[in-house]
Structure 1
Amino acid sequence: MAKRKTKFICQECGYESPKWMGKCPGCSQWNKMVEEVEVTGTARRGAFTHSQGSTILTKPTPITSIETVNEPRILTKLNEFNRVLGGGVVKGSLVLIGGDPGIGKSTLLLQVSSQLANKGHLVLYISGEESLRQTKLRAERLHIASDHLFVYSETNLEEINRTIDSINPSFVIIDSIQTVFHPDVTSAPGSVSQVRECTAELMRIGKTKGIAIFIVGHVTKEGSIAGPRLLEHMVDTVLYFEGERHHTYRILRSVKNRFGSTNEMGIFEMKEFGLEEVENPSEIFLEERSRGAAGSTVVASMEGTRPILVEIQALVSPTSFGNPRRMATGVDHNRVPLLMAVLEKRVGMLLANQDAYLKVAGGVKLDEPAIDLAIAVSIASSFRDKPTRTTDCIIGEVGLTGEVRRVSRIEQRVQEAAKMGFERIILPANNLGGWTGPKGVQLIGVTSVSEALRAALGE
């Protein structure tokens, strides 16, 4: 009898080694190497053969001779969900949705399944974590009932493939990919080999049969999707469902999309009977804003193709320690000391002995450079104890020499601010040319942080 060949695979990044190592050379994680039986090429080819009737090109073909069909996207009743996907669901696409446990991934996909089924599409919801009765109880709570929605509790990928062949659905939901296994792969479900091979097989099924497949992925304690990084490269779209359990608002964010814009964001509210979309997120984020408080500014940030107004709060106080603290929530923590250094060097504020705390209200995470000026004004407002006007919106990127640089899509940002009732917009002077602002809105162009502080704080 031939000896089985084994190898050690890192469960974080997929690094393979013929021997066990305590620290993975690929991702530098400890105790992540797991022994798995090596799958031979013959077994792998036998396990993942192409289905009959598949229309895969088997030879190189000139791109000019390939025929394309512009099929319309399938829309759900959740406009936020459609927009994050780039305008609707694309046939034959493979979408990965990740999020913390209990955030509402299964609820969202069950609602989407019901809406697609009510339009006459055949939907197969495959649950590897819940029984049929548990899924039925969830559906009753959400008032979901449709003869076109089929529920299947199975984790064996071969059985799932046979069921898809027999039912021939238009949409398939896999909840979750970490529970699905292929019997020809000897490792445990959720391992790197299982996740990689099962995702590859689901991708083949979706592409050859024109089925849109949604797969749920668990996340690690760091917030990234569990399993090999290759998983995110294989799928067409990667969505993250974010939010806190103690808050009702949920954020669906697109970080990869082959059929639309990346960094698109949709806002939902978790209610008793499921998720409801928030049509005006700016109003939600600003409804609890304090009036006349120092350290508070509003910025118009672009999330994908939509501008959203959010409040940035700063608290600056004298430190009680040798080294002052710099803390930030919702933005990169390295941005706070950088902008404080600009204020100290270019404006003359003595901030070296001050603690600084920065927060983006509403739980939103911002990472674009257009929020720099609003952060700088918030810090200066708290340090001087001078509140900004409640009708001011501040937009701009700050350079290390204290200059304010132009930002993209300034017209959309200003239109959103005007719609929410803001009367003054402090923005880069280089963004003022070639267009006119809305009526009743004063546009103040600035070239440096000092000018912005004079306009916002009267300094």
Structure 2
Amino acid sequence: AEVSTAPEPRLTTGSAELDRVLGGGLVPGSVVLIGGDPGIGKSTLLLQTLAALSRHYPALYATGEESLQQVALRGQRLGVADEALKLMAETAVEEVVASAQQLHPQALVVDSVQTVHTAALGSAPGSVAQVRESAGQLVRLAKTTGTAVILVGHVTKEGALAGPRVLEHMVDTVLYFESDQGSRYRVLRAAKNRFGAANELGVFAMADDGLRQVRNPSSIFLSRHEQAVPGSAVFVTREGSRPLLLEVQALVADSALSQPRRVTVGLDASRLALLLAVLQRHGGVATAGEDVFVNVVGGVRVQETAADLPALAAVLSSLRDRPLARDSVAFGELGLAGEVRPVPGGEERLREAAKHGFTSAVVPAKNVPRRRISGMAVHGVQRLAEALEVLMG
């Protein structure tokens, strides 16, 4: 009862998308670990962020991967070369800590934790012991001085953060930078956050002058075909506290293989096999001799079950070569007994869809809002067969 529970003051980063993912901004004394593929824009984002912070607070950018000249050239390209941000090129973690104790920055970026090392250990930089000990010293710096520390982390070819798993336990927040190959859009996702909601999502677009925040991400993830096309369904997912309109596309084709293929991008492959079995048993539609390909447009990975109903609607639309209505959305979880189960935040999802001009929605019966949503007809369904009948007209 004697512990103060007053809200922690936060440092706004100048980017509403990054602040959303962090839970409202940087918390003094917190440690954030951000990982992503090489060249995805981690250093660009953090240089822009620290440059914006340096207008109001002292900030320090420590790089172990680039020279000061390289960082300054990037700063010129981003248009932040005139900011009061302090730079240092150093791989010894003791030197970074000493500089931070001398300059008292409100925010410190270390790029990257795999390149810094401590003289107390004889192993090479990037080894398990070096990463753990170097990160430990930076965490102690953050907790004792109140400096917000951001660590850049390398990732393995599987996409997980490189180094010991204890690294993710030591920090307060873990962020992942994701992108589809060749796409200009970047998705920043919170996997862990002690000061905010996990699984929050921020969307950025890479431009010549750096990363720009996308304030209305639903608009970029929808194809908006001129005419309705078979095999396409729009649904509303929920990333953290943000409802997001996405498009799921399906292609069903005759298979020449003894075991037809089931390929998914953005959805769980084993989940698709389960859904196709439900479609056959409770929808009366068999796909045993067909190859089924399902893709979520825009490279977003959907980890919730609200995509079950629209995924099957897209599959059936492609199989029958009949498009769904262009102004309709759907969402809902499917059970093995063929029931359509409710999902969290139903009314928020429907309002997001109505905001983008959709006039019809097929949702679980328990997600039908008590108050009518202006301009939208909401159809509540309880069984898969009922939902497919409404969707296919």
TM range (shorter): over 0.9
The CA deviation at 1:269 is 0.3
1:299 corresponds in structure 2 to 235
1:100 corresponds in structure 2 to 37
Using CA pairs under 8 Å that are at least 6 residues apart, name the structure with larger relative contact order, 1 or 2: 2
1:74 pairs with 4, 8, 11, which one?
A: 11
SS in structure 1 of the partner of residue 54 of structure 2:
helix
1:427 corresponds in structure 2 to 363
Distance 1:66 1:286 in 2: 48
CA contact (8 A) 2:51 2:83 kept: no
1:209 aligns with 2:145: yes
1:385 aligns with 2:314: no
CA contact (8 A) 2:342 2:367 kept: yes
Q: 1:351 to 1:289 in 2, by over 3 A?
A: same
Distance 1:352 1:244 in 2: 30
CA contact (8 A) 1:418 1:441 kept: yes
SS in structure 2 of the partner of residue 285 of structure 1:
coil
Once the two structures are superposed, what CA deviation does each residue of 1:90-136 show, in whole Å capped at 9, x if it has no partner? 00000000000000000000000000011x21111000000111111
1:451 corresponds in structure 2 to 386
1:342 corresponds in structure 2 to 278
Q: 1:245 to 1:357 in 2, by over 3 A?
A: closer
For structure 1, the residue ranges without an aligned partner over 5 or more in a row are 1-63
Once the two structures are superposed, what CA deviation does each residue of 1:121-160 show, in whole Å capped at 9, x if it has no partner? 1111000000111111010000113453100000101111
Distance 1:346 1:116 in 2: 56
CA contact (8 A) 1:427 1:445 kept: yes
1:227 pairs with 163, 182, 186, which one?
A: 163
Distance 2:39 2:253 in 1: 37
RMSD of aligned C-alpha atoms? 1.2
1:238 aligns with 2:177: no
1:61 corresponds in structure 2 to none
Distance 1:330 1:385 in 2: 23
The CA deviation at 1:336 is 1.1
Mapping 1:10-409, distance limit 5 Å: 64-67=1-4, 69-118=6-55, 120-146=56-82, 148-289=84-225, 291-409=227-345
- One-letter amino acid of the counterpart of residue 228, structure 2: G
Question: Which of structures 1 and 2 has the bigger CA Rg?
Answer: 1
- One-letter amino acid of the counterpart of residue 166, structure 1: Q
Q: 1:432 to 1:68 in 2, by over 3 A?
A: closer
CA contact (8 A) 2:260 2:288 kept: yes
Once the two structures are superposed, what CA deviation does each residue of 1:6-26 show, in whole Å capped at 9, x if it has no partner? xxxxxxxxxxxxxxxxxxxxx
Distance 1:146 1:90 in 2: 26
- One-letter amino acid of the counterpart of residue 380, structure 1: L
| TM-score of the two chains, using structure 2 as the length reference | 0.98
The number of residue pairs the alignment matches comes to: 393
Distance 1:357 1:111 in 2: 39
Percent identity between the aligned chains?
Answer: 48
CA contact (8 A) 2:347 2:368 kept: no
The CA deviation at 1:70 is 3.5
CA contact (8 A) 1:102 1:245 kept: no
The CA deviation at 1:67 is 3.9
CA contact (8 A) 1:289 1:311 kept: no
- One-letter amino acid of the counterpart of residue 455, structure 1: V
SS in structure 1 of the partner of residue 174 of structure 2:
strand
For structure 2, the residue ranges without an aligned partner over 5 or more in a row are none
CA contact (8 A) 1:117 1:146 kept: no
The CA deviation at 1:292 is 1.6
Once the two structures are superposed, what CA deviation does each residue of 1:387-418 show, in whole Å capped at 9, x if it has no partner? 10000100110001111001110111000000
| TM-score of the two chains, using structure 1 as the length reference | 0.84
